[in-house]
Structure 1
Amino acid sequence: MTAPTETLDIAIIGGGIIGICAAASLAEAGRKVTIFDRTGICEETSSGNAAAFAFSDVLPLAHKGMMRQLPKWLADPLGPLSIPPAYLPKLLPWLIRFWRAGAPRKYEASLAAQAGMMKLAEAEWMGLLDRSGTRSMLREDGSLELYESEAEFRAGLPGWAARERFGIGFRHVEGEELAALQPGLSPRFVKGTFVPGWKTVADPKLLGKAVWAYAEGLGARFEKARIERVTTDRDGATLMLADGTTRQARHLVVAAGAWSHLLARQLGDRIPLETERGYNTTLPTTAFDVKRQLIFSGHGFVITPLETGLRVGGAVELGGIERPPNYNRSKALLQKAQKFLPGLDPSGGREWMGFRPSLPDSVPVIGHAPGSRSVVYAFGHGHLGLTQAAATGRLIRELVLGQTPPIDLAPFSPQRF
């Protein structure tokens, strides 16, 4: 084993959007940052998401609507939520925590934490887009959530009432107004909810790489490496790489998405992270003229118009990080999209699967490792990694610099489990 040649100031494990925004925020503060990732910058889960800045998406996954739909969804192996039977025994402890997170007291706490985080996220992203010269990648077209029946619409009303409490604007639409918001919709959709403040980006991978270029211009560095092990002592952290070399760092940020809990366990912290495997197909831009992000909540997927194509994806497969992809799921979503948008051209698509790091209460872990002030955890954002990345980057900076964060971090504590 070769001796390290230098002690790094700040090492970040994970080149996804959380790590990128953390690097940018720390580099803006004049700190020397090195990101380690096994593949590259914004090459894995952050590259293929649905491209939404979902600042109004404050409802925890374990809300009543989802719990009510669970049995129906699980009965369909290609439905909005699936669990491979062989994985169920391993998943059971997480599912029990997920079910408990739906209790009214815990639900309200998670809702309030997410609402505060989203307010910060919007402000931080707008600032970062301006500073990094990426504001042109922002799209402010709103979103349209669609319902196939009056009953489905009414079942969603409590969720909209909860959003209204936090000042999130929306309006319910039908008839000609619904048709104008998205021409060519199937008549099976009788109502919709339009959220004018919903934002998307031109392409999440291109945005991530552009923000990284900004961080790099401020001195941030990237090293392609697989981190096999981490340890800590009073001087900071030691990273052991797959090639047998080591790196010393005064501060370590663990932002490795769905793999983060494996690194946390090496430091003695057991955090109940699971992996929501999401699937999509990105079609050519000519596939259909989609005006804004369309949300089919009853089916658990969205359609997003990107600069680089039309992305049809979502759904959740709770299946860990080792099972091979089941692309029948992306095919099933595409078949539904054809029914919902008659005239959609399904040819020429690229299939993709990514790993969303998910915690039972839908609230990420952001805070110091219990055993070391040198280590900051920042993972478990579920569907909201892109949305909350700039806020998380700001919070990581405050934690590393020993400053007071702009929101209460108690709900995000790694020790809450």
Structure 2
Amino acid sequence: MTSTETADTIVVGAGVVGLAIGTNLARRGVRVAILDELPPASGASYGNSGFLVADTAMPVALPGMYRKVPSWLLDPEGPLRVRPNYLPSALPFLLRWLHSSRAAQVRLSSDAMRKLHEPTFDEWKALVGPKVYDSLIRRTGQVYLWEGEGASSTPMEDELRARHGINVEKLTPGDIQEIYPGITRDISRAMLIPGNGHTTNPGRLCGELLQAYLDAGGQVLHERVQRVWSSDGGWRLMTTSGQTRLSNRVVVAAGAWSHRLLKPLGIDVPLESERGYHVVLPNPSVELSMPILHKSGFFGINSMEMGIRLAGTVEISGLEATPDPVRCEVLVRKAKRLFPELRHDAPRMWMGHRPSVPDTVPVIGPVPGQPGLFTCFGHGHCGLTAGPASAKLVVQQMLGDEIAIDTEPYSISRFTH
């Protein structure tokens, strides 16, 4: 095994977060390499819903949600599934997740998320440039839908939107039919969040981010990092190339796999894969002017360049279990209930790993007691939205910049002390 000094900084993980970190560093003259065994942005960064939720800062766990979990688990089309053989492994995470649903914690988490979400459109434009931005990103709003009668959102959701001054417009049944021709009349309640938006192709957007990184002088190495450890004032990384990579600084931005790299260093973070599924319906008979988050159906639907993408559900089954195509079939059935006349070509299915922590706040910044080691992971359902601002924040921390926001809510120390 040989040792090679690869770069001043090595970023482990070539998803949207890692690419954004690399681009920010390279543009500031730092010699940087990104290591990932998979092609850049081929995981959750490629397969997400495409939603850009600048005006949504809602933690996954909300007060009172624990009462709904049993019915969700018993419902074959419910939004949450935990495979029985994985439950003992998942239980500590799930208990911490429920503990994070306390109102005081939810407010703290929402405040921290808001600081990363609100600048997403500006940060994306800065990363990929105005031309690419205008071709792939739309700030046209997002619509939430509910079936049946009742409240359209929980008191906590209403409180958080008011807390952050988020503009919300209530839609009438007539508005819904006008915006979405052919939608079922079972939908009579909806709200528009005009400050949200979407991308028409997450994979292509991240491909453009990769090109921006390469144009800035960054390097990508297609290697799996097997181990990270400190040595002689720097860091060594054992990879599948048979070489030991050397660097002054390392950023762990490996998504749901980040825990595996940190645990041998004695750093135990409650990171879990919320496995998410999507289905693309090519050549659909329906085109949406704005993406939909079906709140009572627990899925999103977005018109993209390749067709309609349906995304949603949470499956807690770890990193190794095989995908369950039934989860995709459920999404298609729900979409056809929403648009009864929907026609399309053969569906294309996908499953990926959302890197999630119990309080929904990503883990960003230096690791105490480990000079030169930084983290940027745990973005859950919101990596495409929060990734650019998260990357900017960790680069500011690495380079000793003045930082305008409180970094403590993102610190790994909240889990390790």
Q: TM-score normalised to the size of structure 2?
A: 0.96
Contact 1:334 1:346 in 2 (8 A): no
Partner of 2:179: 181
Contact 2:137 2:197 in 1 (8 A): yes
Alpha-carbon separation, structure 2, partners of 1:160 and 1:135: 32
Partner of 1:217: 215
Contact 1:7 1:250 in 2 (8 A): no
Partner of 1:324: 322
AA aligned to 1:336 is K
2:175 is aligned with 1:171: no
Cα shift at 1:197: 1.3
Cα shift at 1:93: 0.8
Q: How does 1:132-171 map to 2 (within 5 A)?
A: 133-153=132-152, 155-156=153-154, 158-171=156-169
Q: How does 1:388-403 map to 2 (within 5 A)?
A: 388-403=386-401
- Which stretch shifts more, 62-71 or 346-355? 62-71
Cα shift at 1:127: 2.7
Q: How does 1:295-374 map to 2 (within 5 A)?
A: 295-374=293-372
Cα shift at 1:244: 2.2
2:7 is aligned with 1:3: no
Cα shift at 1:126: 3.5
Cα shift at 1:65: 5.6
Alpha-carbon separation, structure 1, partners of 2:317 and 2:133: 35
Contact 1:230 1:237 in 2 (8 A): yes
Same amino acid, percent of matched pairs = 34
Contact 1:232 1:267 in 2 (8 A): no
Partner of 2:120: 121
AA aligned to 2:347 is G
- The secondary structure found in structure 2 opposite 1:320 is coil
Can you list the C-alpha shifts for 1:301-356, whole angstroms capped at 9, x where unaligned?
10011122210111100111011100100111111110111111253211000100
Contact 1:48 1:204 in 2 (8 A): yes
- Which stretch shifts more, 206-215 or 133-142? 133-142
AA aligned to 1:11 is I
Cα shift at 1:160: 2.9
Cα shift at 1:152: 4.6
Q: How does 1:228-307 map to 2 (within 5 A)?
A: 228-307=226-305
Partner of 1:112: 111
Alpha-carbon separation, structure 2, partners of 1:65 and 1:298: 16
- The secondary structure found in structure 1 opposite 2:91 is helix
Cα shift at 1:131: 6.1
Partner of 2:24: 25
Cα shift at 1:7: 4.4
- Runs of 4+ in structure 1 off by over 4 angstroms are none
Cα shift at 1:179: 1.2
Alpha-carbon separation, structure 2, partners of 1:120 and 1:232: 35
2:371 is aligned with 1:377: no
Partner of 2:60: 61
Q: How does 1:7-86 map to 2 (within 5 A)?
A: 7-64=6-63, 66-86=65-85
- Which stretch shifts more, 110-119 or 132-141? 132-141
Can you list the C-alpha shifts for 1:361-409, whole angstroms capped at 9, x where unaligned?
0101001122312111000000010001110110121122122333211
AA aligned to 1:229 is R
Alpha-carbon separation, structure 2, partners of 1:51 and 1:408: 28
Can you list the C-alpha shifts for 1:269-328, whole angstroms capped at 9, x where unaligned?
100001100011111143422221111122221001112221011110011101110010
| Aligned residue pair count | 415
AA aligned to 1:290 is L
- The secondary structure found in structure 1 opposite 2:263 is helix
AA aligned to 1:333 is L
Alpha-carbon separation, structure 2, partners of 1:84 and 1:166: 37
Contact 2:173 2:187 in 1 (8 A): no
Contact 1:302 1:312 in 2 (8 A): yes
- Which stretch shifts more, 281-290 or 115-124? 115-124
Cα shift at 1:85: 1.1
Alpha-carbon separation, structure 2, partners of 1:68 and 1:407: 35
Q: List gaps (5 residues or longer) in structure 1.
A: none
Contact 1:134 1:211 in 2 (8 A): no
Alpha-carbon separation, structure 1, partners of 2:29 and 2:366: 21
Contact 1:367 1:413 in 2 (8 A): yes
Cα shift at 1:135: 3.2
- The secondary structure found in structure 1 opposite 2:61 is coil
- The secondary structure found in structure 2 opposite 1:15 is coil
Contact 1:24 1:393 in 2 (8 A): no
- Which stretch shifts more, 126-135 or 56-65? 126-135
AA aligned to 1:363 is V
- The secondary structure found in structure 2 opposite 1:3 is strand
Alpha-carbon separation, structure 1, partners of 2:67 and 2:130: 44
Cα shift at 1:170: 1.2
AA aligned to 2:407 is L
Q: List gaps (5 residues or longer) in structure 2.
A: none
Cα shift at 1:115: 1.7
